[in-house]
Amino acid sequence: MSLLARFTHVANNYGKATALGANPFKVRMEKVISPTEAIVNGRQTTLAGTHNYLGLTFDADCIEAAIAALRQEGTGTTGSRVANGSYSHHRGLEDELAEFFGRRHAMVFSTGYQANLGMLSALVGPDDHLVIDADCHASIYDGCKLAGAKVTRFRHNDPADLEKRLRRLAAEGGNKLIVIEGIYSMLGDEAPLREIVEVKKKYGAYLLVDEAHSVGVLGERGRGLAEAAGCEADVDFVVGTFSKSFGSVGGFCVSDMEGFDLLRVASRPYTFTASLPPSVMASVRAALKALQERPELRRKLHDNAALLYGELSRSGFTLGPVVNPIVAVRLEDPETAIRFWNGLLERGVYVNLALPPATPNGWSMLRVSVSAAHSAKQLMHIAAVFRDVAYDLGILEMPVRAAAF
Amino acid sequence: MNGSIAVAEAGYDEVLRDVMTFLNDQTKRRYEITESTNMARDLNLDSLAVMDVLLALEDKFDVSIPINHLAEIQTVSDLARTIIDIKKG
Protein backbone atom coordinates (compact mmCIF):
# COMPACT_ATOMS: atom_id res chain seq x y z
CA MET A 1 0.00 0.00 0.00
CA SER A 2 1.28 3.45 -0.89
CA LEU A 3 2.35 5.70 1.94
CA LEU A 4 -0.20 8.23 0.79
CA ALA A 5 -3.08 5.77 0.39
CA ARG A 6 -4.63 6.89 3.66
CA PHE A 7 -5.27 10.27 2.06
CA THR A 8 -7.61 8.81 -0.56
CA HIS A 9 -10.63 10.65 0.86
CA VAL A 10 -8.59 13.89 0.91
CA ALA A 11 -7.65 13.29 -2.73
CA ASN A 12 -11.31 12.78 -3.61
CA ASN A 13 -12.37 16.04 -1.98
CA TYR A 14 -9.37 17.83 -3.47
CA GLY A 15 -10.34 16.52 -6.92
CA LYS A 16 -13.89 17.81 -6.49
CA ALA A 17 -12.62 21.22 -5.41
CA THR A 18 -10.28 21.58 -8.37
CA ALA A 19 -12.59 20.10 -11.04
CA LEU A 20 -14.84 23.14 -11.13
CA GLY A 21 -12.24 25.71 -12.18
CA ALA A 22 -9.06 27.15 -10.67
CA ASN A 23 -7.34 25.30 -7.84
CA PRO A 24 -8.44 27.12 -4.65
CA PHE A 25 -5.41 25.82 -2.77
CA LYS A 26 -2.78 26.86 -5.30
CA VAL A 27 -3.61 30.39 -6.33
CA ARG A 28 -0.54 32.08 -7.81
CA MET A 29 -0.13 35.73 -7.00
CA GLU A 30 1.85 36.56 -10.14
CA LYS A 31 2.55 40.07 -8.97
CA VAL A 32 1.51 41.70 -5.72
CA ILE A 33 0.85 45.36 -6.35
CA SER A 34 -0.36 46.65 -3.00
CA PRO A 35 -1.99 45.33 0.21
CA THR A 36 -5.26 45.08 -1.71
CA GLU A 37 -4.28 44.32 -5.31
CA ALA A 38 -2.41 41.64 -7.21
CA ILE A 39 -2.21 40.12 -10.66
CA VAL A 40 -3.76 36.64 -10.62
CA ASN A 41 -4.08 34.60 -13.81
CA GLY A 42 -2.97 37.69 -15.73
CA ARG A 43 -5.89 39.67 -14.28
CA GLN A 44 -5.86 42.65 -11.96
CA THR A 45 -7.46 41.27 -8.79
CA THR A 46 -8.79 42.87 -5.63
CA LEU A 47 -7.45 41.02 -2.59
CA ALA A 48 -10.09 40.34 0.06
CA GLY A 49 -8.74 37.16 1.57
CA THR A 50 -5.33 37.97 3.01
CA HIS A 51 -6.03 39.05 6.65
CA ASN A 52 -3.88 42.09 6.04
CA TYR A 53 -6.04 43.95 8.56
CA LEU A 54 -4.09 47.18 8.89
CA GLY A 55 -2.69 47.04 5.36
CA LEU A 56 0.89 47.43 6.58
CA THR A 57 2.61 45.07 4.10
CA PHE A 58 3.60 48.01 1.91
CA ASP A 59 3.99 50.56 4.70
CA ALA A 60 7.04 52.72 3.92
CA ASP A 61 8.36 52.70 7.51
CA CYS A 62 8.03 48.92 7.81
CA ILE A 63 9.80 48.38 4.50
CA GLU A 64 12.63 50.81 5.32
CA ALA A 65 13.15 49.24 8.75
CA ALA A 66 13.37 45.79 7.15
CA ILE A 67 15.86 46.98 4.51
CA ALA A 68 18.08 48.65 7.12
CA ALA A 69 18.11 45.48 9.26
CA LEU A 70 18.85 43.35 6.22
CA ARG A 71 21.86 45.48 5.37
CA GLN A 72 23.13 45.70 8.94
CA GLU A 73 22.53 42.15 10.19
CA GLY A 74 22.21 40.01 7.10
CA THR A 75 19.58 37.73 5.66
CA GLY A 76 19.04 35.28 8.50
CA THR A 77 20.10 33.99 11.91
CA THR A 78 20.95 30.51 10.54
CA GLY A 79 19.69 28.78 13.65
CA SER A 80 17.86 28.85 16.96
CA ARG A 81 18.38 31.48 19.63
CA VAL A 82 19.55 28.83 22.06
CA ALA A 83 22.33 27.77 19.69
CA ASN A 84 23.09 30.96 17.77
CA GLY A 85 22.21 33.62 20.29
CA SER A 86 19.66 36.42 20.34
CA TYR A 87 20.07 39.42 18.07
CA SER A 88 19.24 42.90 19.31
CA HIS A 89 15.94 42.77 17.40
CA HIS A 90 14.79 39.62 19.25
CA ARG A 91 15.06 41.23 22.66
CA GLY A 92 14.00 44.64 21.34
CA LEU A 93 10.81 43.21 19.86
CA GLU A 94 10.08 41.19 23.01
CA ASP A 95 10.59 44.24 25.25
CA GLU A 96 8.30 46.34 23.06
CA LEU A 97 5.62 43.64 22.97
CA ALA A 98 5.71 43.27 26.75
CA GLU A 99 5.40 47.03 27.14
CA PHE A 100 2.57 47.27 24.58
CA PHE A 101 0.54 44.57 26.35
CA GLY A 102 1.50 45.80 29.85
CA ARG A 103 2.97 42.40 30.69
CA ARG A 104 6.16 41.32 32.40
CA HIS A 105 7.20 38.77 29.78
CA ALA A 106 7.12 38.28 26.04
CA MET A 107 8.47 35.52 23.87
CA VAL A 108 8.72 35.53 20.09
CA PHE A 109 8.23 32.45 17.91
CA SER A 110 9.06 31.89 14.25
CA THR A 111 5.40 31.52 13.20
CA GLY A 112 1.99 31.98 14.79
CA TYR A 113 1.43 28.24 14.39
CA GLN A 114 4.55 27.56 16.41
CA ALA A 115 3.51 30.04 19.08
CA ASN A 116 0.50 27.85 19.86
CA LEU A 117 2.52 24.66 19.57
CA GLY A 118 5.29 26.10 21.71
CA MET A 119 3.05 27.41 24.47
CA LEU A 120 0.56 24.55 24.75
CA SER A 121 3.21 21.84 24.62
CA ALA A 122 5.25 23.49 27.37
CA LEU A 123 2.51 24.74 29.70
CA VAL A 124 0.79 21.42 30.31
CA GLY A 125 1.84 17.79 30.51
CA PRO A 126 0.23 14.34 30.56
CA ASP A 127 -1.29 14.85 34.03
CA ASP A 128 -2.99 18.11 33.05
CA HIS A 129 -6.10 19.03 31.11
CA LEU A 130 -6.58 21.29 28.11
CA VAL A 131 -10.15 22.49 27.74
CA ILE A 132 -10.52 24.05 24.33
CA ASP A 133 -13.29 25.75 22.37
CA ALA A 134 -14.47 23.28 19.70
CA ASP A 135 -13.86 25.85 16.94
CA CYS A 136 -10.20 26.51 17.83
CA HIS A 137 -7.64 26.76 15.04
CA ALA A 138 -5.69 23.73 13.82
CA SER A 139 -2.53 25.04 15.49
CA ILE A 140 -4.26 24.74 18.86
CA TYR A 141 -5.38 21.18 18.12
CA ASP A 142 -1.82 20.34 17.03
CA GLY A 143 -0.40 22.01 20.13
CA CYS A 144 -2.73 19.81 22.19
CA LYS A 145 -1.31 16.70 20.54
CA LEU A 146 2.23 17.79 21.26
CA ALA A 147 1.35 18.60 24.88
CA GLY A 148 0.15 15.08 25.62
CA ALA A 149 -2.38 16.44 28.13
CA LYS A 150 -5.95 15.19 28.20
CA VAL A 151 -7.98 17.33 25.80
CA THR A 152 -11.64 18.16 26.32
CA ARG A 153 -13.61 20.29 23.86
CA PHE A 154 -16.48 22.56 24.84
CA ARG A 155 -19.20 23.88 22.57
CA HIS A 156 -18.16 26.96 20.67
CA ASN A 157 -18.55 30.22 22.62
CA ASP A 158 -20.68 28.51 25.27
CA PRO A 159 -19.50 29.36 28.84
CA ALA A 160 -22.22 27.14 30.38
CA ASP A 161 -20.93 24.20 28.36
CA LEU A 162 -17.36 25.02 29.44
CA GLU A 163 -18.51 25.02 33.06
CA LYS A 164 -20.24 21.65 32.64
CA ARG A 165 -17.03 20.11 31.31
CA LEU A 166 -14.83 21.67 34.00
CA ARG A 167 -17.25 20.38 36.61
CA ARG A 168 -16.83 16.84 35.24
CA LEU A 169 -13.05 17.27 35.47
CA ALA A 170 -13.13 18.82 38.95
CA ALA A 171 -12.36 15.57 40.73
CA GLU A 172 -9.37 14.84 38.50
CA GLY A 173 -5.92 16.09 39.42
CA GLY A 174 -3.64 18.25 37.34
CA ASN A 175 -3.87 21.81 36.07
CA LYS A 176 -6.64 22.90 33.74
CA LEU A 177 -5.80 25.30 30.93
CA ILE A 178 -8.71 26.80 28.97
CA VAL A 179 -7.86 27.77 25.39
CA ILE A 180 -9.99 30.13 23.32
CA GLU A 181 -9.55 32.67 20.54
CA GLY A 182 -10.28 36.40 20.50
CA ILE A 183 -11.92 36.51 17.08
CA TYR A 184 -12.58 33.13 15.47
CA SER A 185 -11.14 32.92 12.00
CA MET A 186 -14.03 31.19 10.29
CA LEU A 187 -17.09 33.22 11.28
CA GLY A 188 -15.42 36.34 12.65
CA ASP A 189 -17.28 35.98 15.95
CA GLU A 190 -15.76 36.96 19.31
CA ALA A 191 -15.40 34.86 22.46
CA PRO A 192 -17.70 35.80 25.39
CA LEU A 193 -14.57 36.53 27.39
CA ARG A 194 -16.06 37.97 30.58
CA GLU A 195 -18.31 34.96 31.07
CA ILE A 196 -15.45 32.57 30.32
CA VAL A 197 -13.27 34.40 32.85
CA GLU A 198 -15.98 33.90 35.50
CA VAL A 199 -15.99 30.15 34.85
CA LYS A 200 -12.19 30.08 34.82
CA LYS A 201 -12.03 31.72 38.25
CA LYS A 202 -14.70 29.46 39.72
CA TYR A 203 -12.78 26.33 38.77
CA GLY A 204 -9.26 27.63 39.40
CA ALA A 205 -8.22 27.09 35.78
CA TYR A 206 -5.71 29.03 33.68
CA LEU A 207 -6.71 30.85 30.51
CA LEU A 208 -4.86 31.27 27.20
CA VAL A 209 -6.40 33.48 24.51
CA ASP A 210 -5.16 33.30 20.94
CA GLU A 211 -5.61 36.84 19.67
CA ALA A 212 -4.24 36.13 16.17
CA HIS A 213 -7.20 37.85 14.48
CA SER A 214 -7.91 40.43 17.18
CA VAL A 215 -4.59 42.13 17.98
CA GLY A 216 -4.55 45.42 16.12
CA VAL A 217 -8.27 44.97 15.52
CA LEU A 218 -10.03 45.09 18.92
CA GLY A 219 -9.49 47.24 22.00
CA GLU A 220 -8.90 50.96 22.36
CA ARG A 221 -5.16 50.48 21.94
CA GLY A 222 -5.44 47.44 19.68
CA ARG A 223 -4.41 44.92 22.33
CA GLY A 224 -7.21 42.57 21.35
CA LEU A 225 -10.37 41.11 22.85
CA ALA A 226 -8.97 40.95 26.40
CA GLU A 227 -8.52 44.73 26.31
CA ALA A 228 -11.90 45.33 24.66
CA ALA A 229 -13.65 43.13 27.24
CA GLY A 230 -11.76 44.74 30.13
CA CYS A 231 -10.36 41.50 31.49
CA GLU A 232 -6.67 41.48 30.61
CA ALA A 233 -5.66 40.74 34.20
CA ASP A 234 -7.62 37.48 34.12
CA VAL A 235 -6.02 36.22 30.91
CA ASP A 236 -2.87 34.34 31.86
CA PHE A 237 -1.43 34.04 28.36
CA VAL A 238 -2.04 36.01 25.18
CA VAL A 239 -0.80 34.37 22.00
CA GLY A 240 -0.66 36.21 18.70
CA THR A 241 0.79 36.32 15.23
CA PHE A 242 2.76 38.81 13.16
CA SER A 243 1.26 37.52 9.92
CA LYS A 244 -1.99 39.47 10.08
CA SER A 245 -2.17 42.99 11.57
CA PHE A 246 1.64 43.21 11.64
CA GLY A 247 1.95 42.37 7.95
CA SER A 248 4.87 39.95 8.29
CA VAL A 249 5.47 36.50 9.78
CA GLY A 250 6.09 35.13 13.28
CA GLY A 251 4.22 34.65 16.54
CA PHE A 252 4.41 35.60 20.19
CA CYS A 253 3.13 35.04 23.69
CA VAL A 254 2.92 37.59 26.49
CA SER A 255 2.27 36.82 30.14
CA ASP A 256 2.88 37.86 33.74
CA MET A 257 3.50 34.28 34.83
CA GLU A 258 6.35 33.79 37.29
CA GLY A 259 9.15 31.74 35.74
CA PHE A 260 7.98 32.40 32.17
CA ASP A 261 11.56 32.57 30.89
CA LEU A 262 12.01 28.86 31.63
CA LEU A 263 9.89 28.20 28.55
CA ARG A 264 12.83 29.27 26.40
CA VAL A 265 14.43 25.95 27.15
CA ALA A 266 11.31 23.93 27.93
CA SER A 267 9.36 24.71 24.77
CA ARG A 268 10.66 22.52 21.98
CA PRO A 269 8.99 24.42 19.11
CA TYR A 270 10.84 27.49 20.42
CA THR A 271 14.16 25.87 21.26
CA PHE A 272 14.61 23.80 18.12
CA THR A 273 13.58 26.27 15.43
CA ALA A 274 15.62 28.82 13.52
CA SER A 275 14.73 32.24 14.90
CA LEU A 276 13.14 35.04 12.90
CA PRO A 277 15.47 36.96 10.55
CA PRO A 278 16.38 40.52 11.65
CA SER A 279 14.55 42.10 8.71
CA VAL A 280 11.26 40.44 9.70
CA MET A 281 11.60 41.59 13.30
CA ALA A 282 12.51 45.12 12.22
CA SER A 283 9.37 45.39 10.09
CA VAL A 284 7.27 43.96 12.92
CA ARG A 285 8.70 46.54 15.33
CA ALA A 286 7.81 49.29 12.87
CA ALA A 287 4.32 47.79 12.48
CA LEU A 288 3.88 47.69 16.28
CA LYS A 289 4.80 51.38 16.35
CA ALA A 290 2.28 52.13 13.58
CA LEU A 291 -0.39 50.13 15.38
CA GLN A 292 0.10 52.33 18.46
CA GLU A 293 0.65 55.69 16.79
CA ARG A 294 -2.00 55.42 14.08
CA PRO A 295 -5.31 54.43 15.73
CA GLU A 296 -7.00 55.81 12.60
CA LEU A 297 -5.99 52.56 10.87
CA ARG A 298 -8.15 50.60 13.30
CA ARG A 299 -11.06 53.01 12.87
CA LYS A 300 -10.79 52.74 9.08
CA LEU A 301 -10.69 48.95 9.37
CA HIS A 302 -13.94 48.89 11.35
CA ASP A 303 -15.63 51.40 9.04
CA ASN A 304 -14.61 49.23 6.10
CA ALA A 305 -15.88 46.06 7.79
CA ALA A 306 -19.22 47.73 8.51
CA LEU A 307 -19.48 48.93 4.91
CA LEU A 308 -18.89 45.52 3.34
CA TYR A 309 -20.95 43.63 5.93
CA GLY A 310 -23.84 46.05 5.41
CA GLU A 311 -23.66 45.80 1.62
CA LEU A 312 -23.56 42.00 1.58
CA SER A 313 -26.20 41.68 4.28
CA ARG A 314 -28.61 44.02 2.46
CA SER A 315 -27.99 42.03 -0.72
CA GLY A 316 -29.43 38.98 0.99
CA PHE A 317 -26.33 36.92 1.84
CA THR A 318 -26.18 34.86 5.02
CA LEU A 319 -23.25 36.24 7.04
CA GLY A 320 -21.39 35.58 10.29
CA PRO A 321 -23.07 36.86 13.46
CA VAL A 322 -20.95 39.98 14.14
CA VAL A 323 -19.57 42.86 12.11
CA ASN A 324 -15.81 42.26 12.13
CA PRO A 325 -13.00 42.37 9.56
CA ILE A 326 -13.68 38.69 8.81
CA VAL A 327 -16.93 38.60 6.86
CA ALA A 328 -18.07 35.00 6.42
CA VAL A 329 -20.56 34.34 3.64
CA ARG A 330 -22.42 31.07 4.11
CA LEU A 331 -23.40 29.06 1.04
CA GLU A 332 -25.54 26.01 0.49
CA ASP A 333 -22.95 23.28 -0.11
CA PRO A 334 -19.28 22.74 -1.04
CA GLU A 335 -20.01 22.70 -4.77
CA THR A 336 -21.85 26.03 -4.67
CA ALA A 337 -19.03 27.53 -2.61
CA ILE A 338 -16.40 26.31 -5.08
CA ARG A 339 -18.39 27.63 -8.07
CA PHE A 340 -18.92 30.93 -6.28
CA TRP A 341 -15.23 31.23 -5.40
CA ASN A 342 -14.29 30.61 -9.06
CA GLY A 343 -16.87 33.15 -10.24
CA LEU A 344 -15.33 35.77 -7.98
CA LEU A 345 -11.77 35.00 -9.09
CA GLU A 346 -12.75 35.10 -12.76
CA ARG A 347 -14.16 38.58 -12.10
CA GLY A 348 -11.03 39.70 -10.27
CA VAL A 349 -11.96 39.29 -6.59
CA TYR A 350 -9.88 37.01 -4.35
CA VAL A 351 -11.41 35.62 -1.14
CA ASN A 352 -10.84 32.44 0.89
CA LEU A 353 -12.77 29.27 0.23
CA ALA A 354 -13.61 27.48 3.49
CA LEU A 355 -15.00 23.96 3.34
CA PRO A 356 -15.78 21.24 5.89
CA PRO A 357 -14.16 19.70 7.90
CA ALA A 358 -12.19 22.94 8.47
CA THR A 359 -15.40 24.88 9.07
CA PRO A 360 -17.83 24.99 12.01
CA ASN A 361 -21.07 23.00 11.72
CA GLY A 362 -19.95 21.54 8.40
CA TRP A 363 -20.76 24.82 6.66
CA SER A 364 -19.42 25.78 3.24
CA MET A 365 -18.30 29.38 3.23
CA LEU A 366 -16.43 32.16 1.54
CA ARG A 367 -14.32 34.11 3.96
CA VAL A 368 -13.74 37.72 3.09
CA SER A 369 -11.15 39.65 5.07
CA VAL A 370 -11.36 43.42 5.10
CA SER A 371 -8.31 45.69 5.34
CA ALA A 372 -7.86 49.28 6.46
CA ALA A 373 -6.14 49.68 3.09
CA HIS A 374 -9.33 48.93 1.12
CA SER A 375 -10.98 52.00 -0.37
CA ALA A 376 -14.76 52.37 -0.17
CA LYS A 377 -14.77 51.99 -3.95
CA GLN A 378 -12.98 48.63 -3.74
CA LEU A 379 -15.42 47.37 -1.10
CA MET A 380 -18.44 48.44 -3.14
CA HIS A 381 -16.87 46.67 -6.11
CA ILE A 382 -16.37 43.47 -4.06
CA ALA A 383 -20.03 43.58 -2.98
CA ALA A 384 -21.18 44.21 -6.57
CA VAL A 385 -19.14 41.25 -7.85
CA PHE A 386 -20.60 39.04 -5.09
CA ARG A 387 -24.09 39.99 -6.30
CA ASP A 388 -23.15 39.32 -9.95
CA VAL A 389 -21.92 35.83 -9.16
CA ALA A 390 -24.95 35.14 -6.97
CA TYR A 391 -27.30 36.16 -9.80
CA ASP A 392 -25.37 33.98 -12.24
CA LEU A 393 -25.59 30.97 -9.95
CA GLY A 394 -29.23 31.64 -9.14
CA ILE A 395 -28.48 32.11 -5.44
CA LEU A 396 -29.96 35.61 -5.34
CA GLU A 397 -32.74 36.88 -7.52
CA MET A 398 -31.78 39.84 -9.65
CA PRO A 399 -33.73 42.95 -8.66
CA VAL A 400 -36.48 43.74 -11.18
CA ARG A 401 -34.98 47.05 -12.27
CA ALA A 402 -31.53 45.58 -12.90
CA ALA A 403 -33.04 42.60 -14.70
CA ALA A 404 -34.85 44.89 -17.11
CA PHE A 405 -31.58 45.90 -18.77
CA MET B 1 -28.07 14.24 35.82
CA ASN B 2 -30.77 15.34 33.41
CA GLY B 3 -31.04 12.96 30.52
CA SER B 4 -27.81 11.20 31.43
CA ILE B 5 -27.44 7.51 31.97
CA ALA B 6 -25.91 5.79 34.96
CA VAL B 7 -23.18 4.04 33.01
CA ALA B 8 -21.47 2.64 36.06
CA GLU B 9 -24.38 0.28 36.51
CA ALA B 10 -25.03 -0.22 32.83
CA GLY B 11 -23.44 -3.11 31.00
CA TYR B 12 -21.83 -3.14 27.61
CA ASP B 13 -25.04 -4.09 25.80
CA GLU B 14 -26.95 -1.20 27.27
CA VAL B 15 -24.26 1.38 26.48
CA LEU B 16 -23.87 -0.05 22.99
CA ARG B 17 -27.60 0.20 22.40
CA ASP B 18 -27.62 3.82 23.54
CA VAL B 19 -24.61 4.70 21.38
CA MET B 20 -26.27 3.07 18.36
CA THR B 21 -29.54 4.90 19.00
CA PHE B 22 -27.62 8.13 19.28
CA LEU B 23 -25.65 7.56 16.05
CA ASN B 24 -28.84 6.56 14.21
CA ASP B 25 -30.42 9.84 15.24
CA GLN B 26 -27.30 11.79 14.26
CA THR B 27 -27.09 10.19 10.82
CA LYS B 28 -30.86 10.38 10.30
CA ARG B 29 -31.05 6.57 9.99
CA ARG B 30 -29.32 6.62 6.61
CA TYR B 31 -27.06 3.68 7.55
CA GLU B 32 -27.40 0.21 8.96
CA ILE B 33 -25.41 0.68 12.16
CA THR B 34 -24.00 -2.34 13.95
CA GLU B 35 -21.40 -3.02 16.63
CA SER B 36 -18.64 -3.25 14.03
CA THR B 37 -19.60 -0.14 12.04
CA ASN B 38 -16.54 2.03 11.44
CA MET B 39 -17.61 5.60 12.10
CA ALA B 40 -15.26 7.34 9.68
CA ARG B 41 -15.42 4.82 6.85
CA ASP B 42 -18.98 3.51 7.08
CA LEU B 43 -20.81 6.57 8.37
CA ASN B 44 -18.74 8.99 6.32
CA LEU B 45 -17.98 11.08 9.42
CA ASP B 46 -14.93 13.35 9.09
CA SER B 47 -12.58 13.92 12.02
CA LEU B 48 -14.51 16.93 13.23
CA ALA B 49 -17.83 15.09 13.04
CA VAL B 50 -16.43 12.22 15.12
CA MET B 51 -15.22 14.75 17.71
CA ASP B 52 -18.70 16.26 17.74
CA VAL B 53 -20.16 12.80 18.36
CA LEU B 54 -17.88 12.51 21.41
CA LEU B 55 -18.95 15.95 22.59
CA ALA B 56 -22.60 14.98 22.48
CA LEU B 57 -22.01 11.56 24.06
CA GLU B 58 -20.15 13.20 26.94
CA ASP B 59 -23.40 14.95 27.79
CA LYS B 60 -25.58 11.92 27.21
CA PHE B 61 -23.51 9.75 29.55
CA ASP B 62 -22.26 12.57 31.79
CA VAL B 63 -18.63 11.57 31.32
CA SER B 64 -15.51 13.31 30.08
CA ILE B 65 -14.09 11.58 26.99
CA PRO B 66 -10.77 13.28 26.15
CA ILE B 67 -10.21 13.47 22.39
CA ASN B 68 -6.88 11.74 23.01
CA HIS B 69 -8.96 8.53 22.82
CA LEU B 70 -9.94 9.24 19.22
CA ALA B 71 -7.12 7.17 17.77
CA GLU B 72 -8.45 4.08 19.57
CA ILE B 73 -12.08 4.70 18.71
CA GLN B 74 -12.87 3.44 15.24
CA THR B 75 -15.93 1.26 15.59
CA VAL B 76 -19.18 1.72 17.46
CA SER B 77 -18.05 -1.04 19.78
CA ASP B 78 -14.78 0.82 20.54
CA LEU B 79 -16.82 3.86 21.47
CA ALA B 80 -19.11 1.94 23.85
CA ARG B 81 -16.13 0.26 25.54
CA THR B 82 -14.31 3.58 25.94
CA ILE B 83 -17.33 5.12 27.65
CA ILE B 84 -17.60 2.20 30.06
CA ASP B 85 -13.84 2.24 30.81
CA ILE B 86 -13.83 5.97 31.47
CA LYS B 87 -16.86 5.83 33.70
CA LYS B 88 -15.33 3.02 35.73
CA GLY B 89 -12.22 5.20 36.11
The values of phi and psi at residue B47, to 5°, are -55, -40
Query: Would an 8 Å CB–CB cutoff place B49 in contact with chain A?
Result: yes
Q: How many CB pairs under 8 A join A and B?
A: 36
Number of Cβ within 10 Å of residue A2's Cβ equals 7
Give the pLDDT of residue A196. Answer: 98
> H or E segment at A183?
none
Q: How many CA atoms lie within 13 A of A183 on its CB side?
A: 32
Chain B interface mutation, best of A131, A137, A146, A164, highest count of B Cβ atoms under 10 Å: A164
Residues of A with CB under 8 A from a CB of B: 129, 134, 144, 150-153, 155, 164-165, 168-169, 172, 356-357, 362
Average pLDDT value over all residues in chain B: 85
Residue B45 to residue B52: CA distance in whole angstroms: 10
Residue of chain A nearest B62, judged by CA positions: A168
> Are A357 and B47 an interchain contact pair (Cβ–Cβ within 8 Å)?
yes
> Rounded to the nearest 10 degrees, what angle do helices B47-61 and B76-88 cross at?
40
CA-nearest of A279, A249, A287, A273 to A73 is A279
Give the pLDDT of residue B9. Answer: 52
Q: Which CATH number goes with the domain that contains B62?
A: 1.10.1200.10
Question: Number of structural domains, chain B?
Answer: 1
Q: Name all contacts of A231-237 with Cβ < 8 Å and 24+ positions apart.
A: A231/A193, A231/A194, A231/A197, A232/A101, A232/A102, A234/A197, A234/A200, A234/A201, A234/A207, A235/A193, A235/A197, A235/A207, A235/A208, A235/A209, A236/A206, A236/A207, A236/A208, A237/A119, A237/A123, A237/A206, A237/A207, A237/A208, A237/A209
Complex ipTM more than 0.95, yes or no: no
Give the pLDDT of residue B3. Answer: 45
> Are A357 and B63 an interchain contact pair (Cβ–Cβ within 8 Å)?
no
> Are A168 and B52 an interchain contact pair (Cβ–Cβ within 8 Å)?
no
The values of phi and psi at residue A3, to 5°, are -60, -30
Percent of chain B with pLDDT over 90: 39
pTM: 0.94
The values of phi and psi at residue A374, to 5°, are -70, 140
Mean pLDDT per segment of 10 residues, for chain A of length 405 residues?
Answer: 81 81 86 98 96 98 98 97 96 98 98 98 97 96 96 97 96 96 96 98 98 98 98 98 98 97 96 97 98 98 98 96 96 94 97 89 93 98 98 87 48
Give the pLDDT of residue A33. Answer: 98
User: Out of B48, B49, B68, whose CB is closest to A151?
Assistant: B68
User: Is the pLDDT at B5 greater than 60, yes or no?
Assistant: no
User: Out of A134, A144, A172, whose CB is closest to B55?
Assistant: A134
Which domain range does residue B23 map to? 3-88
Number of Cβ within 10 Å of residue A59's Cβ equals 20
